Amino acid sequence: MMILSPKYTKDKSNNTLEWKEKNKKYLNQLQKFLDATDSIETEYLKNNIIAQMLKCDQILTEIAQKEIQKYKKQTYNIE
């Protein structure tokens, strides 16, 4: 299951979200969250809660990606 669009490196060949998409703890918690939202009867509220969580997840992912790139640049002199 891919929730967020993949982002690619300059050569467009590597999925830079692989670290996240293959993390079993992350996927398990995401599934628990989505399962919990199934009990929300109001579809509008349910969709808004899921959308807001995904926005937060996207922001955290972008922060993590920047930190990963910073680490790679410092450690391996890679952009």
Condensed to tens digits (0 to 9), the pLDDT of residues 55-66 reads 999 999 999 999
Stated pTM of the model: 0.69
Residue 21 exposure: Cα atoms within 13 Å on the Cβ side: 12
3-class secondary structure, 15: strand
For 27, the domain range is 23-76
Report the percentage of the chain scoring pLDDT > 90. 59
8 φ/ψ angles, rounded to the nearest 5 degrees? -120, 155
Is residue 10 included in any domain, yes or no?
Answer: no
Is residue 37 included in any domain, yes or no?
Answer: yes
Total of domains in the chain: 1
Is residue 39 included in any domain, yes or no?
Answer: yes
- Asked if 29 and 48 count as a contact pair (C-beta separation under 8 A), the reply is no
Is residue 56 included in any domain, yes or no?
Answer: yes
Long-range contacts of 56-60 (CB under 8 A, 24+ apart): 57/3, 57/4, 58/4
pLDDT of residue 71 exceeding 60, the answer is yes
Is residue 46 included in any domain, yes or no?
Answer: yes
Q: Over the Cα atoms of the chain, what is R_g?
A: 15
